[in-house]
Amino acid sequence: MTLQVMRGIPQGEVASQMTNPPNDKIVPFSQGTPATPSGPASRTGFPQRGAKLSFGGLKKIQQKPKLTGLQARLAEAKKAEQQNESNGCSGNGGSPETRSNRLALILDCSGSMDGERMESLKKATESFLQCLSLGPQGDTSIACETFPPLAGASYPLTIDFTKALLSAWALDTTGCTPMAEAMELVITKYPITRGILMSDGQPDSETKVFDQARRFAEAELPIDCVHISSCSAGEACLQQVAELTGGLFIKFTDLDSFVKSFKYLSPKLRPLMLSGRVGAEELGATSLLGQGGAQGKGAQK
């Protein structure tokens, strides 16, 4: 075998270096105890073939568990809130009552909403709240009242969208449809700038609902109304509430479209409907009525 000359070593010393290498120590690991052979070592200081290595004291790298589902979405919303604050998008001071956009969700949680409709409402509300928290909307606060009242699902004006997201998943179905009572709570308790009313059917009393709608109109507070049902029960009532208060009326028969498009009632996206750039077809709705004219499949002004 021909030996090649090693750089920096005289040719006569090459063989000596190859046959009698120095007994260097094993270079220790940066963390923990260096590897030690459990069998005999060779002259090089490295274990012979067949010897077993034991790594004592090595620190195991702990990976954070990957967040999934609601936890991931809550973490995302919280991160966005912190980012908005660091970017100076914190609105008018720290008070929810002084924000430029003070919204109130008024949500139907009656027995007719049981099943797929309630699950769709949870998802739609979550999407809406994420749109508030993820966008540059530090000037917005949100409140919620349900009818019938539900502990854990209703809350006063807040800028804590993470807490609001948790409350959205506390929505459930129970009892009748006291829509007017929820409207009265909102206009009495909260200094809002706009209401968002969602229902799938007829309220307990249309007369009381219209009375409260007139209170909103006198205070120049619009109520956007959303009807989700393949039937027409309660549809005319919500149309009239929207008309009385100067709000929008949207009709959905497809729940997936409702989930996807409910966020368009956020301050960031609502102007797209008012200007006509987004109509009923883009929303997946059967009709869109209100400011900007009638739009949609068979909608009449």
DSSP H or E run through 56:
none
Per-residue pLDDT, 301: 31
> pLDDT per residue over 184-204, tens digit each?
999 999 999 999 999 999 999
* Superfamily (CATH H level) for 100-289: von Willebrand factor, type A domain (3.40.50.410)
Query: Average pLDDT over the chain, rounded to whole?
Result: 78
Per-residue pLDDT, 133: 78
Q: Strand pairing partners for 288?
A: 250, 295
64-78, 221-235, 250-264: segment of lowest average pLDDT: 64-78
Starting from the edge strand earliest in sequence, which strands make up the sheet with 155-158, in order?
155-158, 140-147, 101-108, 194-199, 223-228, 249-252, 287-289
Question: 287 with 294: CB under 8 angstroms?
Answer: yes
- Tokens for 133? 């928290």
> pLDDT per residue over 204-214, tens digit each?
999 999 999 99
> pLDDT per residue over 108-142, tens digit each?
999 999 999 999 999 999 999 999 876 555 689 99
Within 8 A by CB and 6+ apart from 277, the residues are: none
> pLDDT per residue over 12-27, tens digit each?
444 444 445 555 444 4
